[in-house]
A and B are shown apart, each in its own frame.
Chain A
Amino acid sequence: MRSLISRSLLLGVLAAGGTPLLAHHSFSMFDQAAPITIAGVVSSVEWTNPHVYIELDLTEPVKGAKHWSIELGSPSILQRGGWKFNTVKKGDKVSAVVSPLKNGDPGSLLTRITLPDGRVLGNGGPAGVGPGTTAPNAGAGASSTLGR
């Protein structure tokens, strides 16, 4: 029994590696297998920890709601992906591919956003890029690396 336990614990350790996959919380409350596109006017941007949030007044209601919240990575993770604190501003018309909350509430996790000038940003970037280093061009369809 003990060897079984130790083996299963070891497997857990190896699976986790030295780096936990998630930073602040699990993202399993979002349906990442069924992304949707929402579009509208930004009503507020909260450039805060542990997450950045964009509030969106939708042009057309989605799942019965005209206002959706979008959760992003942290400021640190986002600026690695080419974001600045003022990349998205109140009043901007944007569209975003998001993973909705599984419980049906009008909240979601960002996959990528299209800005008024046509730029497309993902939800973060690779480790180790920030002020004082060279920010990469996140480019279209930059994958979400939130929490990694």
Chain B
Amino acid sequence: MLAIAGAMAEAQSPAARNISGAWVPMGGGRGADPKVAPPPATPIVLKPEYAKAYEARRTAEAEAVKRGEPVATPAILCLPYGMPRMMTVASYPIEILQTAGQVTIITEAFSEVRRVYLDQPQLPIDEVPPGYYGRSVGRWDGDTFVIDTVGIKQSVLSYNMLPHSEQMRITERMRLVTPDVLHDQITIEDPVVLEKPFTYTLGFRRLPKYEMVEFVCENNREYVDEQGRVRMRTGGGQK
């Protein structure tokens, strides 16, 4: 009993809630520690009318990549990723800032910014203007920071390039699994597109003293030709 009480006190200590700082996505492979590795994703089941189109698109994309003619994605046009994909873009770090009444998450890739309002009620989805980041509110549940996000526009692709409706709701449960490893368990609900919610977990390692690098997408030499293929402009770009 004492041990449980001690563990709870530990879980709710300021240290357990200190997620401020820079974090880098945990990769697999060399140096990966299975003890802190995120659990695998749960199955994704799209409604049949969406599954067919998604499968067809993914197959076409895979074939185009094989041909060396990748198809366009929003990132090719230097558009930001938005939620939820912005939370892990390759190995680019993210930065979390905890201030009074707000937690701010800034990504290095494309300098995207999320503002999470603490202990505020969420608005009905229909009252949030659809955008890249929507509206996020957060609260601490013991040692877990729970974020609720709604209001993501349909052109912002979901996890793994999945489609979604404007009824999508993103619930994140962020928790330090060790003082230097953060997990972000992300659950996507969408009654229009998904048969049932799915959950995946991102892992991050703390980056002490890291200074975030500027990222302004100013010199984009990739372009999309009339066939929808990605090409690279050669011979000098920025003047």
Contact = CB atoms under 8 A, between A and B. Distances in A.
Given A25-B75, A28-B65, A5 B213 contact: no
A28 B232 contact: no
Interface in B49-98: 51-52, 54-55, 58, 65-70, 73, 75-76, 78, 85, 88-93
Contact of A107 (B27, B207, B209, B234): B234
Contacts of A77: 91
Interface residues of A, number: 60
Contacts of B213: 74-76, 79, 130-131
B41 interface: yes
A76 B221 contact: no
Given A132-B209, A148-B90, A13 B44 contact: yes
Interface residues of B, number: 69
A7 B234 CA distance: 42
B19 to A, nearest CB: 17
A26 B65 contact: yes
Given A5-B46, A9-B44, A18-B200, A71 B92 contact: no
Interface in A1-36: 1-2, 5-10, 12-14, 16-26, 28-31
A49 interface: yes
Contacts of B238: 46, 48, 53
Interface in B182-239: 195, 200-203, 205, 207-211, 213-222, 230-238
Given A26-B65, A74-B215, A127-B27, A69 B235 contact: yes
Contacts of A51: 219, 221
Nearest to B69: A29
A86 interface: no
A6 B211 contact: no
B70 A29 contact: yes
B43 interface: yes
Contacts of B89: 20, 23
B66 A13 contact: no
B70 A26 contact: yes
B48 A19 contact: no
A121 to B, nearest CB: 17
A18 B203 contact: yes
B217 A50 contact: yes
A42 B207 CA distance: 35
B41 to A, nearest CB: 5
19 contacts: A5-B55, A6-B43, A12-B58, A18-B88, A18-B200, A19-B88, A23-B109, A24-B222, A25-B73, A50-B220, A53-B219, A69-B221, A69-B234, A69-B236, A76-B92, A128-B207, A130-B213, A132-B210, A133-B209
Given A48-B218, A74-B213, A127-B25, 13 more contacts: A5-B45, A18-B38, A20-B85, A26-B70, A49-B219, A53-B237, A101-B232, A105-B232, A106-B234, A106-B235, A107-B234, A131-B213, A148-B91
